[in-house]
Structures are given as C-alpha cells and as structure tokens.
Amino acid sequence: MVIRERQSMLPSDLRVSNSLKIIAALRGANGMSHSDVARKLGLSVPAVHRLMSELVAAGLVNEDGPASESAAIGRPAAIYRFHEDAGFLAGVDIGNGTTRIILTELNFVERASLSFRTSDLGAKLPSVLSEAILRMQDQQGAGDVPLVGVGIGVSASVDPGTGELHGLPVLQQYEGLRLSHELEDVLGCPVAVQQDDHYSALAESSELGSYPGASSLLVLEIGYGIGVGMCLNGQPLPGFHGRFGRIAGWPPSVANDYLPGGTLGEVLTTPGLVQQYRNREGHFPIHDGLGLVEVARGGEPEAVSVLDWAAQEIVQTIQRLSLLCDPEVVVLGGGLSQAYEVFSATLEEQLPEILVVPSLLKDRAVVMGAVLEASSFVDAWLRSGLLRT
C-alpha cells in the first residue's frame, strides 16, 4: 500500500507527523523524558507532553517511573519507552527442504518459531501458512495485538509487477501464484514476497547480520538449492523481472567425472554433493551435506575429494560473480556455511583480493530478512493508527 502525502499541512497532519517523530526518537533510545524528547526534536515541552499522553492512551508508549539515579530537584521526570510489543511481525522462509516461520515483536525480539518440511505444504500453501501464522499469534495470549506485516522468502523469482511466483524448483504447482494477494485478506495486514536470496542479503547487511553497513554485499546461498542475493547500501537488488541471482542453471567450471548432472543447481547443492559421493562409491550412508562434512573431517578419501571439488567450484563461482557485481564483501550462506572451515583455506588462498566471510545467521538468514522486510510496514501502520485517534 502506497501512502501519498497531502500537500496541505492541517493540524491533524502536524500532530501525526510530530507523533511519528516522537516514536522514532523513543525507538532509538533506552527511555526518554518529555524534556529529552523536546530537546531532541526541537518541540515545546507542553506539545510533547500532550502528544505523549495521546501515545500512552493509544497503547504505543509506556510510561515508567523516574530513573532511580535522577538527582534533579523537584518532581522526578517520568521516562517513556515505545511499546515494542504493540504489534507483531512475521517472517517466513519457504526453502526447498524446510519452511521456517518466526513471530517477533516490532524490535525483532522473537516470540515464537515453527519449522516443517516444505513438502508438507502440499496443495494448500496459502492456507497452511496463514493458519500457522495466526495460530502462533493466538498462542501468545495477546488477542488484541495486531499483526503489522509479513515477509515471505521463497525459492522462486517473484514478478515485481504482478507478484506471481515463477521457476520454483519444488512446489511447481504454484507457478503463477500471487501469494501476497492470497494472504493479505486472511491475515489482515500487508504481505511482501520476494526471492529468498534477496532477503538473505538484506539480513546479512543489517545490524543483525554478518557484515553490517556494507555498501555492496553479495550472498552465495548453497544448501538444497543455490542462489545469489545482493544488497546495495542496504537495499536488495531484485532485477527488472525479480530474477537476479537465479544461477542454478549455470554450468559448473571444474571438470569432474563423477558429477550427477550438468548445472550448478544439480551438482553444487546438498543432493548433488551426496550423489557425487555415492558415484565415487563412498562407504558411508550419507544423506545430507553435514553428514558428508563429518565423514570428510574423519579423512575418508571419497568425501574429501567431493568437498575439495566443491571448494574449487565455489572459488570459480565467486570469481564469476565478483567480475559481474564487484561486491565489497561476499557472504557464504546456506547449509554449507555451517562447514565454512572446510572451504576457508582454499577460498583465502585462491581469492586473496575478495573478502569472503561465513554467514553468522546460517539457515536463519532468509527468515530474518523476511522479518526486516515486514518491518517496512510499521510506519504506515503507525500513521494509520494515529490518524484514527
């Protein structure tokens, strides 16, 4: 929803504008008095007192007792804080293997989480997601606390104009689905849907992530799928059709007689690496990437060979991406980020001029990026509520 500013500045507009400024000041501080806010914003103390009373009555601000260390003469000043649990945000990561959902307060403090196999979404993706989110919200015992916004990362490209999903590796039955439109009426709040890699990059360049404040950050996500996300000055780069980073169809660069397919999406992902191990007639019943890593740490030659090849292919992929995008930093994310030490020596030796770091968020990068995207709806929600008071 786009909110257009009116040209005139009526008294109600000024009240809402100043109230939003007060909320912004409180959200960036650990409690402030009337006079603190007045000095910071250049408003009169009586005006701040009046607006603060309205915000307290609206349930957006808490009034606490005076600071215990206050040594001021006369009546100690009350301290005000923004009511961060006045609303909830939800983030969803629909991965190729696992779907994750988290519910947070407006300051990203997590209140509930849920994960299940993506295959369990079956033929009812919109209803399963909406029911899960509403159930998590209800279980918090705060029935009057609204859901402010939802962000959903999905392993697909999302058309910026229509919101349609395209090119899903799994759940192909949802090709063309306008997921945000399906969910907004049910959830009663705005819903943003983006390719999961874009949200991963958003999270990794935020204060929550691996390289806060990067001017240009690129994430290479390798797990059950493979993709790339990029942020420029904290803003995701989706591409004209929302398809930036869809590299699963790229051919591999490093020759290997044991490859199970012909694209990065087939060979440099967990299923591809496990199949390569089996093609090499490895001796252990490996089913996932972390199992393969554990066997390689034990020194089994077949597993070591698979991961040596993967390290070389990751180097080549990062080199290609860096020539294209020239990022300040590359974050290795996805499931393989949990075994970064297996690849770190090769990356440091062969990519001396490229800063590569492991993801600190690991498999939570997408869902945290989705919550950050959901938070973009908070200002509009606050404005709408203040206009009604």
Q: Are residues 222 and 341 in the same domain?
A: yes
pLDDT of residue 388: 77
Q: Please tell me the pTM assigned to this model.
A: 0.90
E strands, the chain, are 61-64, 79-82, 88-94, 98-105, 110-117, 147-154, 157-158, 165-166, 191-195, 216-222, 226-232, 235-236, 329-333, 356-358
- Cα–Cα distance for residue pair 265/269, rounded to 1 Å: 6
Q: Are residues 197 and 61 in the same domain?
A: no
Q: Are residues 289 and 158 in the same domain?
A: no
Q: Are residues 242 and 349 in the same domain?
A: yes
- Cα–Cα distance for residue pair 159/246, rounded to 1 Å: 13
Task: Judge contact between 367 and 101, C-beta under 8 A.
Answer: yes
Query: Between β-strands 157-158 and 165-166, what pairing exists: parallel, antiparallel or unpaired?
Result: antiparallel
What total number of domains does the chain contain?
3
Q: Find the radius of gyration of the CA atoms of the chain.
A: 24
Q: Where are the alpha helices (DSSP H) in 236-331?
A: 264-267, 270-279, 289-297, 301-325
Which helix (H) or strand (E) segment holds residue 108: the answer is none
Q: Is residue 71, in this structure, part of any structural domain at all?
A: no
Q: Are residues 124 and 49 in the same domain?
A: no
Q: Please list the residues that pair with 358 across neighbouring strands.
A: 332
388 CB neighbour count, 10 Å cutoff: 7
pLDDT of residue 70: 47
Q: Are residues 189 and 215 in the same domain?
A: no
Q: How many residues does the chain have?
A: 389
Distances in Å between the alpha carbon of 234 and those of 180, 308, 322? 23, 33, 18
- Cα–Cα distance for residue pair 319/350, rounded to 1 Å: 10
- Cα–Cα distance for residue pair 311/330, rounded to 1 Å: 15
CATH of the domain at 40: 1.10.10.10
- Cα–Cα distance for residue pair 277/56, rounded to 1 Å: 62
Q: Is residue 24, in this structure, part of any structural domain at all?
A: yes
Q: Is residue 387, in this structure, part of any structural domain at all?
A: no
Query: Between β-strands 88-94 and 147-154, what pairing exists: parallel, antiparallel or unpaired?
Result: parallel
Q: Are residues 307 and 343 in the same domain?
A: yes
Task: Give the CA count within 13 Å in the CB-facing half-sphere of 134.
Answer: 13
Q: Are residues 107 and 186 in the same domain?
A: yes
Q: Are residues 235 and 261 in the same domain?
A: yes
Task: Look at the alpha carbons of 216, 205, 249, 289 in this order and tell me if their dihedral is positive or negative.
Answer: positive
SS3 93: strand
Query: Which phi-psi region, left, alpha or beta, contains residue 367 (left: φ > 0; alpha: ψ -120 to 50)?
Result: alpha
Q: Is residue 139, in this structure, part of any structural domain at all?
A: yes
- Cα–Cα distance for residue pair 260/278, rounded to 1 Å: 10
Q: Are residues 22 and 104 in the same domain?
A: no
Provide the residue range defining the domain that includes 193. Answer: 87-202+368-380
**One pLDDT digit (tens) per residue for the chain, 389 residues:** 333 344 444 456 788 999 999 999 998 888 999 999 999 999 999 999 999 999 999 889 999 876 544 445 556 689 999 999 999 999 999 999 899 999 999 999 999 999 999 988 887 899 999 999 999 999 998 778 999 999 999 999 999 999 999 999 989 999 999 999 999 999 999 999 999 999 999 999 999 999 999 999 999 999 999 999 999 999 999 999 999 999 999 999 999 999 998 999 999 999 999 999 999 999 999 988 889 999 999 999 999 999 999 999 999 999 999 999 999 999 999 988 888 999 999 999 999 999 999 999 999 999 999 999 999 999 999 998 888 76
pLDDT of residue 253: 95
CATH of the domain at 104: 3.30.420.40
